[in-house]
Structures are given as structure tokens and as C-alpha cells.
């Protein structure tokens, strides 16, 4: 069973966490199941960027993002080459190390 290692995030999981994931489960669903309240404003329909994560290890084990996800990611705060929408990143057989960015686009706009 693959693991998702979520790096420490000040608000959502200050100590980080290791999650046992099912192959075929999304990173977002696995995190929510373990009580990590990752934002998902569009209810996981690939219509926003609030569940944006950066896959620090295991990125190449994920299926490639599609055009819709890529278009959404272009709007994400703190976009990096290993960025994915966690609602679209489906766990395969490899372990993942995931960082949840400090802000989402919702939080950045609320601060202005």
C-alpha cells in the first residue's frame, strides 16, 4: 500500500503526517480521510486551484495532468513544475512526498 508523506504545514498538519493510501485514490481524498482539511472549494471537480499541492517525491509515478488541470494550475499561487491539483492526482503504487502550499488563491485574494 503506497504512503503519502505530507510535509508539515503550519495550519493543516503542523507535524506533518504519513497516510496509507489506496492505489487509485486521489491525494485530496486520502488527506481528507485522515482529517487534513485541505481546501477544495469546487468540491474536487477540477474547477479551482484551492487543493493545489507540490509533489516533492514520486511526481513521475502520477498520471500526467490533462489540459483542464494544466489550465487551472496556471492560476495557482506558488506554482512549481511539480505542482498538481490534489483532487486530480491519483495515487499509483509509489510513495509520494507532498507539500501543501502556505496559501491558496482564495487566501491570497482575501489578504488584499
Which sequence spans correspond to the domains of the chain? 3-111
Neighbour tally for 5: CB within 10 Å? 16
Question: Residue 95 class from Cβ within 10 Å (0-12 exposed, 13-18 middle, 19+ buried)?
Answer: middle
Q: How many CA atoms lie within 13 A of 49 on its CB side?
A: 23
Q: What is the pLDDT of residue 64?
A: 93
The three cell numbers locating residue 101: 502550499
Q: What is the pLDDT of residue 103?
A: 80
Torsion, Cα of 72, 99, 104, 35 (10° steps): 110
> Is CATH 3.40.605.10 the classification given to domain 3-111?
no
Q: What is the pLDDT of residue 104?
A: 76
pLDDT tens digits for the chain (112 residues)? 999 999 999 999 999 999 999 999 999 999 999 999 999 999 999 999 999 999 999 999 999 999 999 999 999 989 999 999 999 999 999 999 999 998 876 644 444 4
Q: What is the pLDDT of residue 16?
A: 97
Asked whether the whole model's pTM tops 0.75, one would answer yes
The three cell numbers locating residue 22: 489506496
> In 3D, which of 105, 40, 43, 103 has the Cα closest to residue 76?
105
Amino acid at each position: 500500500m503506497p504512503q503519502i508523506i505530507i510535509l508539515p504545514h503550519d495550519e493543516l498538519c503542523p507535524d506533518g503526517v504519513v497516510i496509507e493510501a489506496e492505489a487509485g485514490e486521489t491525494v485530496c481524498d486520502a488527506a481528507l480521510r485522515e482529517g487534513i482539511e485541505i481546501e477544495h472549494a469546487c468540491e474536487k471537480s477540477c474547477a479551482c486551484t484551492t487543493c493545489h499541492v507540490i509533489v516533492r517525491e514520486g511526481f513521475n509515478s502520477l498520471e500526467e495532468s490533462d489540459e483542464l488541470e494544466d489550465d487551472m494550475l496556471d492560476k495557482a499561487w506558488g506554482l512549481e513544475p511539480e505542482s498538481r491539483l490534489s483532487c486530480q492526482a491519483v495515487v499509483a503504487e509509489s510513495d509520494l512526498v507532498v507539500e501543501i502550499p502556505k496559501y491558496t488563491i482564495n487566501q491570497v485574494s482575501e489578504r488584499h
